[in-house]
Amino acid sequence: MAPGKSSPVENSWKIFEEYHIDEDVGFALPNPLEELPHPYDAWISIAKNLPELIKNGQLRAEVEKLTTFSIDGLQGHKLQRLAHLVLGYITMAYVWGEGDGDVRKVLPSNIAVPYCKVSEKLGLPPILVYADCVLANWKKKDPSGPMTYENMDILFSFPGGDCGKGFFLVSLVVETAAASAIKVIPIIFNAIQREDPDTLQKALLDIASCLHKALEMFHQIHEYVDPNLFFNVLRIYLSGWKGNPLLSEGLLYEGVWDTPKKFAGGSAAQSSIFQCFDILLGIQHTVGGVPSDSAAKFLQEMRTYMPSAHQNFLRSLESGPSVRKFVLSKGDATLQEIYNECVQAMVSLRNYHLQIVAKYIVIPASQPSKRKQTSEEPSEPKSKGTGGTDIMEFLRTVRSTTVNSLLKED
């Protein structure tokens, strides 16, 4: 960076507010709203009863009866995020139905038009994304209590009992544990600009500690998420219409576009937190700003599924000083060791993610499905993640890029 030019991320929460980053919950939406004003409460009443409506075969008919609402009454970021979450749930339920292969290829205009308009306001695609079902889909049971699984609930559910609650809330507590490290970023940038390796060491130790805590939180998934329910039920409702043979041409948003559009389903790759630490630590998934392989290309694409303020934050980090170059330039063994501890914490998280995917996708995929398949069309490829990638190959590539970022001892 040019001398005297301040980093886009400075030591102030005012700067973070501009990027919609909260001091306590990071990229998660703080205290999400639960209710929409009339007439949008009609959406809420469907979204709140999705599992029952699906089970009784009434969901699609209820959706088709809805009036088309103008979104002019949805003012403010939190109301719009709630509307995007609710319309995302309704859309997934409408498209996938009972999850038996009887899919809908056209989203009716009474949902498609307001959904696309709200999406445009937020800079998000019109599909359920991680920023909806994880970051904006939670509440505390005791508002003054801690951000722990036991004190939290989700706002909306898919079929599959508490499987969705487990999956979304464990993802959220992993996210918020890692988010504690965001406040250290300005300290890091200032330390580099002031050539202060001691302060940098302390700050990097804080980051490693937060990443270790995130991994600890990740372990809760085994307690709260059943692999068979996840694979055979919840995963279906999180699937998108890009790279999915059940909707090979995509989904037609009636009244919005004349041709079907393809969007990827919700994926952990849409979380800003780990892309944030990749950038900070100089873990390069790109060469000269160009994705180096299909995994890097997918990560880059998933940024467009993040809230625009979070995309801007990642871009601001990219224009900040390089931690990796500074550590290398100092030739200090202790500093390199602490830097490596941060990178190793990212490797550990990615190793663990691979184990989780093996347990929750690969192993159940190899077992005979108990679900009925009514459609004659090709079934969805089972080794794919909800984002539409070959998930094991993708995660292995991302992990090896992370391992390759460890500084080698001379």
Instruction: Answer yes or no: is 225 within a domain.
Output: yes
Beta bridge partners of 26: 22
Determine the average pLDDT of the residues in 212-216: 97
Local confidence band at 372 (pLDDT 50, 70, 90 cut-offs): very low
Instruction: Answer yes or no: is 388 within a domain.
Output: yes
Output the pTM of the full model: 0.92
Instruction: Answer yes or no: is 262 within a domain.
Output: yes
- pLDDT at residue 377 tops 90: no
In whole angstroms, give the CA distance from residue 283 to residue 152. Answer: 33
Instruction: Answer yes or no: is 157 within a domain.
Output: yes
Q: How many CB atoms lie within 10 A of CB 336?
A: 18
Per-residue pLDDT reduced to its tens digit, 284-320: 876 666 666 788 889 999 999 999 999 999 999 999 9
Domain count, the chain: 1
* Residue (of 252, 231, 229, 237) closest to 50 by Cα position: 237
Pairing of strands 152-154, 138-140: antiparallel
- pLDDT at residue 277 tops 70: yes
- pLDDT at residue 371 tops 80: no
DSSP-assigned letters across all residues of 236-288: HHH--SSS-GGGTT-BEETTT-SS-B------GGG-HHHHHHHHHHT--SEET
Task: Please provide the average confidence, as pLDDT, over all residues in the chain.
Answer: 91
In whole angstroms, give the CA distance from residue 409 to residue 297. Answer: 30
Q: Where are the alpha helices (DSSP H) in 162-264?
A: 163-179, 185-193, 197-218, 221-224, 227-229, 235-238
Give the CA distances from residue 143 to residues 30, 33, 147, 177, 209, in Å, rounded to whole numbers and listed in that order.
12, 13, 9, 18, 27
For residue 207, the model assigns a pLDDT of 98
- pLDDT at residue 373 tops 80: no
Per-residue pLDDT reduced to its tens digit, 4-45: 444 444 445 566 889 999 989 999 999 999 999 999 999 999
* Domain membership of residue 277 as a residue range: 21-366+381-405
For residue 378, the model assigns a pLDDT of 44
Instruction: Answer yes or no: is 3 within a domain.
Output: no
Q: Is 310 annotated to bind ligand? A: no
For residue 376, the model assigns a pLDDT of 40
DSSP-assigned letters across all residues of 128-151: --HHHHTTSSEEESSTTS-SSGGG
For residue 367, the model assigns a pLDDT of 85
Instruction: Answer yes or no: is 372 within a domain.
Output: no
Place of tokens 């292995």: 396
Per-residue pLDDT reduced to its tens digit, 307-364: 999 999 999 999 999 999 999 999 999 999 999 999 999 999 999 999 999 999 999 9
| CATH number of the domain encompassing residue 328 | 1.20.58.480
Instruction: Answer yes or no: is 1 within a domain.
Output: no
For residue 211, the model assigns a pLDDT of 97
**Are 367 and 374 in contact, with CB atoms under 8 Å apart?**
no
Lowest-pLDDT range, 198-212, 250-264, 275-289, 375-389? 375-389
Amino acid identity at 407: L
For residue 329, the model assigns a pLDDT of 96
- pLDDT at residue 256 tops 50: yes
For residue 156, the model assigns a pLDDT of 98
Per-residue pLDDT reduced to its tens digit, 97-143: 999 999 999 999 999 999 999 999 999 999 999 999 999 999 999 99
Instruction: Answer yes or no: is 5 within a domain.
Output: no
In whole angstroms, give the CA distance from residue 38 to residue 33. Answer: 14
* Residue (of 120, 121, 107, 111) closest to 253 by Cα position: 107
Determine the average pLDDT of the residues in 173-191: 94
In whole angstroms, give the CA distance from residue 277 to residue 207. Answer: 9
**Are 147 and 140 in contact, with CB atoms under 8 Å apart?**
yes
What is the token pair recorded at 307? 């809230």
For residue 5, the model assigns a pLDDT of 40
Per-residue pLDDT reduced to its tens digit, 146-169: 999 999 999 999 999 999 999 999
